[in-house]
Each structure stands twice: as C-alpha cells, then as structure tokens.
Amino acid sequence: MRNRFAYLAALVAALVIAAGCGRGKSAIGTPGNPIRMAVVPSVEQQKLAVSGEQLGKMLEKQTGYSIRVSVPTSYAAVVEAMGANQVDVGWLPPFAYVLANQKSGVDVILKSIRGGSASYNGLIITRADSGIKSLDDLKGKRFAYVDALSTSGCIYPKILLVKKGYDPDKFFGQTVFAGSHDAVIAAVYNKQVDAGAIYGGPISDARERMLRTLPDLMSKTRVIARTDPIPNDTVSVRKGLPPDVTLKIKEGLLAVARSEEGRKTVLSLYGIDDLTPAKDSDYDSVRHAVRALKLDISEAVKKG
C-alpha cells in the first residue's frame, strides 16, 4: 500500500511539473511567444522598419497570431538567426535563401512579383559624366557592392566579370560593401565610387525609390551592364516551424498582398507588386551561380 501511495504521489508531482513547464512555454504565435519575422536591410532601414511594422499588423489580423518584425543589421544576421531558431519567417534574397537552405534547412514558401515578372536582374550603374561606358572601363576603379550575400548587388555582378574573363577579387582598384541598394546609389551619385551594383526589374530599378530625395538621379546616372535573370526574392521559414503555422502565414501573406491596403505596404517594403507560391527548385539557377564562383557556404555567411 505504501508503495502504491508513493507511486501516485510521484505521478501527481510529475504531472504538476509538466503542467508548469507547459505554462512556462507559450504556444507559438501568442503574445508570450510571437512569430518572429525579419526583413533583410537591402534598402534604407528606417523605411523598412515602418513598412515591416505595418505588414506585421496586417498579418496579425489575417492569422490571429502575434507577429514581431525586425530589421537585422545584415543579410548574414538573418540567415544565422533563422538557423538558430531566433527568426521564424525571413524575407531573404535568392542567394541568402540558398545559403540558409543548405546551412539550416530553411524552406521557401513565397516569392515576390514585380512588374508582372518572377525574375529580375543585377545592374551596374555609374555616373553619366564618368566616361565609363562598359565593364572593361571599370578595371582599377572604385566599386560598391551591396552586401556579400546580395544576389543582384554582388553575386551576379561578379559572374558578369567572370564571364568576361576577369577575376572579381582583383579587377577593381577598391571595393566597398555599402550595406544597401540605396547606399550604393548614393555613393555613385556623390562620386564616392566610380560604379556600383543594384537591382533592376523589367520596368524599374532601385534608383526609383530615391527620386524624391534625388530628383535628377536618373539623368545623372546610367546603366552600363545587366546580369542574367535572377529568380525573385523569397519569403522563407525556418526548419521546424509547425506545418499548420507555416500554411497560415503563407495564406495570410498572400491575402495581405492582394488587399488594397496590403498592396501598398508590400510595394513600399521592397517594391513588390504581389506574392506567389514558390518551391525550392525555383532557386537552382542561383545554386549554379554559387558553384560557378566556387563560393564556400560557411565563408560566405561570415563575410556577410
């Protein structure tokens, strides 16, 4: 009898402890454990923070989840945070997605649409009065990339050089990582560098975001080279995010992007017109680019 009472007491104690542990860990999507969504700092961070906050509130209404949006300091910071389960949903450009997928099992759920297209290009821009007319003219010049993990702002422009027979690491006299497309444009405009890499779509490019502050930007700068097509940037989720949560986030973002108010928000976020379902194989062309440049995944993340 004593043994039976001891067993029952131990069982009750275990159940109490388990119940306590359950209360200590809130269900995902609740105020105590919100969905953590991060956007990469590819354009001016303050603008992203405002648009991201608006998007988070709209997604909360669609899903019923609590959403916390952040703008980390670099592309690599988002990749690492998703691998460490500190970010649940990441708005990753193609190369950063490929790295995160290979390194941590991050999975794409949506891709962006701009100007009716699911792909875009990297552009090389320079001052219109620079005298620079082609890639060959950039040898020994000062050049600005966006980020080591930026597909259009670094990886594909380097492939352009490789195809021309140049070594990207030795071709320029000086290279800098400006941190965003906006910063690259400003550096070219202000003659801090001779040229730089930015993104461009079938209709517009990154310069159009800055016309309010630099109204003569389009006439003062010009495009001298364009990369091969790049699959558009992603919305991706970390490995282990519950399937039902993933589906709700996916459907919620699609609904937001196709609402009148939401369309304006995603447009202000990254110049996105719409979102559409995506699969991992959509980014195989980026993997081919990674192999062409013989990039080391772990080293690429460190540099980012």
- pLDDT, one tens digit per residue, over 111-130 is 999 888 999 999 999 999 99
Q: What is the mean pLDDT of residues 187-206?
A: 94
Instruction: Specify the pLDDT at position 10.
Output: 41
List pLDDT tens digits, range 19-43: 334 334 689 999 999 999 999 988 7
Q: How many Å from the N-terminal Cα to the C-terminal Cα in the chain? A: 66
How high is the pLDDT of residue 45? 82
- State how far the Cα of 166 lies from the Cα of 168, in Å rounded to an integer: 6
The encoded tokens of residue 42 equal 């590819």
The segment with the largest mean pLDDT, out of 14-18, 269-273, 290-294, is 269-273
Kind plus residue range of the DSSP H or E element containing 209: none
Angle at the Cα of 273 from the Cα atoms of 209 and 185, rounded to 5 degrees: 20
pLDDT score, position 55: 95
Going by their DSSP bridges, the two strands 195-200 and 142-145 should be labelled as: parallel
Q: Tell me what pLDDT residue 298 has.
A: 56
pTM score: 0.81
Whether the predicted pLDDT of 301 surpasses 70? no
Domains 35-116+232-303 and 119-230 share a fold: yes
Looking at residue 44, what is its pLDDT?
77
Domain ranges, ordered by start, for the chain = 35-116+232-303, 119-230
Are 220 and 128 a contacting pair, CB within 8 Å? yes
More confident residue, 18 or 167: 167
Q: What is the average pLDDT across 93-104?
A: 94
Tell me, what's the pLDDT at 2?
A: 39
Closest CA to 261 of 109, 62, 113, 67: 62
And the tokens for 131? Answer: 């005298």
Question: Is a pLDDT exceeding 90 seen at residue 108?
Answer: yes
| pLDDT number for residue 291 | 84
Percent of the chain with pLDDT over 70: 88
Mean of pLDDT values over 174-178: 97
- Mean pLDDT of the residues in the chain: 88
Sign of CA dihedral 239, 87, 266, 151: negative
Question: What pLDDT, on the 0 to 100 scale, is given for residue 15?
Answer: 35
Q: How far is CA 235 from CA 48, 110, 145, 270, in A?
A: 15, 5, 23, 12
For domain 119-230, the CATH class is: alpha beta
3-class DSSP state of 173: coil
Which of 12-16, 37-41, 187-191, 300-304 bottoms out in mean pLDDT, i.e. has the lowest?
12-16
Check residues 5 and 95 and name the one with the higher pLDDT. 95
Q: What is the pLDDT of residue 302?
A: 54
Bigger pLDDT: 25 vs 52:
52
Homologous superfamily (CATH) of 35-116+232-303 is Periplasmic binding protein-like II (3.40.190.10)
pLDDT digits (tens, 9 = 90+) for 224-247: 999 999 999 999 999 999 999 999
